[in-house]
Structure 1
Amino acid sequence: MHKDRKLNNINQFEKDFAESVSFNEDIARDYLEENGVDIDKFIKKGLNQIQASFKKKEMQLSKALFFKRVVLGAEIVYKLHNERTFGHVKFMKLMYLCEQVSNMELAVRYVKQAAGPFDARFMHSIDKEFIRLKWFDVKVNSGRKFNTYKYIPDEKIMSYKTYYNKYYCNDNKGIEWLIKTFGKPPTKKVELVATIYSCLDEFIKKNEEFSTEILIEKVFDWSVEKKKKFTRANIVSAHNWMIENRLIPVS
C-alpha cells in the first residue's frame, strides 16, 4: 500500500511538473524549488543522460561503420589475395578509392603517407577482425625494409558475402571495376591514382583554383618519394585517364 501511495505521489509530481513547464519557465523553477529539487543538479543530470545517450549511439554507429568497412575489405582481399602484387599498400589504396565511389565520406580518417592516403588505425585493426571472424588467416613475413602480408581464406570466408550484397549492392559495379582495374598492375599505379584523387578532393574542399601545374606540385609535395617514383608526364597521364573513366571527386 505504501509503495502504491509513493508511486502515485511521483506520478502526480511528474504531471504537475510537466504542466508547470508547459505553462511558464519561472513557475516551473518555483515549483521545483518548493519541492526541494536542486535545479542545477536536476538539469546537469538530464544533460549527462542526454550526452550518455549520444555517446552510446555514436559508439553503435562507429562499430557498424567499422564492420561495413571490414566487409568491403573482405571483398577486395577475397578477389585479390592470390595476386602477386597485392599487399597492404595496394589494399589501403583500393579501400580508399572504393570508399569514395560508394560515398562513405571517410576522408577525415585518412592521413598523408608516402604511398598516398592511409588510415593506419583501420589497417592495424582489420587483420585482427578477419582472424576473429574466421574470414582470413593472415601471415606476416617480416622483411628488412617492410613486412609482407599473405591472406588465406578461412572456414567462414563466404559469410562476408551476405553482408557485402546488403551494404554494397548499389555500388558493386564501381567497386568491382576498381578491383579488376588495379588488381594485376604494379602497386604504384593505384598509389598514384589514389594520391591524385585525394589532391583533387583537396581542391574542392578548400575551394582552391585548379590548374594542372598546381596538381603536379601537390602530388610532388605529398612526400619526397613521389618525385622518385613519378614524373610530371606520369601525373598528367594518370589524371587524364581518371577524367576519361570518371574517377574524380565531385563537389
Structure 2
Amino acid sequence: MKNSNIDKLFGSIGFGFPENEKELKAFDEVFKGYQFVGDEEKIDPKKIFDNIKSSNTKISKIDYHKRTVLAAEIVFKLYTEPTLGHLKLQKIMYLCQHTTGMRLHTNFLKQAMGPYDPKLMRSIDKQFKLNKWYQYDSNEYVKYKPLENVGGHRDWYSKYFKNEITDIDFLLEKFKFFRTDQIEIVATIFACWKEIIDSRGLVNNEMIIKKFYSWHKDKAKYTKDRLNSAIEWMTSEGIHPV
C-alpha cells in the first residue's frame, strides 16, 4: 500500500498525522508531557488481541448445546465401558477441544486430577436428563444409562462437528479402554506441554515432567518412567499441542 493511501486510511479512522507546522505544534501541545512507561520487551500483541476477543465473546445457548452434543457423542460411543465416568468424559472433551482447535465453551481449571471444569459435568448431566439421552449414576458399573431418546444428538453432532469427526473418532478409539489414571496422566501432560508452548519455553521431557509434578502434590504418585512412557506414546500418536 502506498504511503498516501496509508495516510488516508489512518485519517479516515481519526489517526491522521500532522501535515504542516501548525498541525505539528497542535499535536505537540496535546501530547506534551506524555511518556510511554510500558516495558516494550514484555508487550505481547497476541495476548492483547486474545483478551479483547475473549472479553467481547458472549456465551450463547448454542455454545452450551454444542458442548452437550459433543459429550453425548462421547458417551454414545463409550458408555458400555465401565471406565467411563465424569473424569474420563471431561478429559476426552478437553483433548478433543485442544487437539482439534474447536471452539467450545469450557473453563478447565487446575485440579488434583488434572484439567477439570466442575460446573461442566453438572450442566451436562442436567441436559442429558432433560433431553432423555442418558441418566448418570456413579454407583453403577456402567455409569451412563441410555434413555428413550438416546442417539437424538447425532444430527446436531454432524452439524456442529462435521470438520472434526475424524479426529474425534481417532481420540475415542485411542482412549476407549483407558483407565481413569491413564487418561488423567495424558490430559495433565497435554496441559503442561501446552503451558510451556504458550509461554514460549523449551519443550522437552524434562521440562514437561517438572511442570507435571508442580501441577499438584498428588502427582508425585506417578513415576518418571511412567510419565516418560506417556510422553513418548503421545508423541508417536500425535496427541500433543502444537
Give me the TM-score of the superposition, normalised by structure 1: 0.69
Q: Is the Cα contact below 8 Å between 1:197 and 1:248 reproduced in 2?
A: yes
* TM-superposed deviation, 1:104: 2.5
Q: Residue 37 of structure 1 aligns with which residue?
A: none
**What is the distance in 1 between the residues matched to 2:72 and 2:143?**
13
Which of 226, 229, 235 is the aligned partner of 1:234?
226
Q: Residue 77 of structure 1 aligns with which residue?
A: 75
- 1:174 paired with 2:172, answer no
SS at match of 2:144: strand
Runs (5+) with no aligned partner, structure 2 = 1-55
Q: Residue 23 of structure 1 aligns with which residue?
A: none
* TM-superposed deviation, 1:211: 3.0
**What is the distance in 2 between the residues matched to 1:79 and 1:108?**
21
**What is the distance in 1 between the residues matched to 2:91 and 2:220?**
19
SS at match of 2:110: strand
Instruction: After TM superposition, list the pairs within 5 Å mapping 1:74-223 onto structure 2.
Output: 74-104=72-102, 109-141=107-139, 150-223=143-216
**What is the distance in 2 between the residues matched to 1:117 and 1:191?**
8
* TM-superposed deviation, 1:106: 5.3
Offset from partner CA, 1:174-203 (integer Å, 9 cap, x none): 111111211113221111111111011101
Q: Is the Cα contact below 8 Å between 2:81 and 2:142 reproduced in 1?
A: no
**What is the distance in 1 between the residues matched to 2:105 and 2:145?**
29
SS at match of 2:69: helix
**What is the distance in 1 between the residues matched to 2:209 and 2:107?**
24
Offset from partner CA, 1:38-64 (integer Å, 9 cap, x none): xxxxxxxxxxxxxxxxxxx955x4321
* TM-superposed deviation, 1:156: 1.3
Q: Percent identity?
A: 39
Offset from partner CA, 1:128-183 (integer Å, 9 cap, x none): 01001111122243xxxxx9882111111221000111111211111111112111
**What is the distance in 2 between the residues matched to 1:107 and 1:167?**
13
* TM-superposed deviation, 1:246: 1.1
Q: Residue 42 of structure 1 aligns with which residue?
A: none
Q: Residue 237 of structure 2 aligns with which residue?
A: 245
Higher helix share: 1
Q: Which amino acid aligns with 2:161?
A: Y
In terms of Rg, which structure is larger? 1
Q: Which amino acid aligns with 2:223?
A: T
**What is the distance in 2 between the residues matched to 1:171 and 1:58?**
22
Q: Residue 64 of structure 1 aligns with which residue?
A: 62
SS at match of 1:189: helix
SS at match of 1:184: coil
Offset from partner CA, 1:188-230 (integer Å, 9 cap, x none): 11111111110111011112222321211111111122111x1
Runs (5+) with no aligned partner, structure 1 = 1-56, 142-146
* TM-superposed deviation, 1:78: 1.2
SS at match of 1:208: coil
Distance 1:177 1:196, change over 3 A: same
Q: Is the Cα contact below 8 Å between 1:110 and 1:117 reproduced in 2?
A: yes
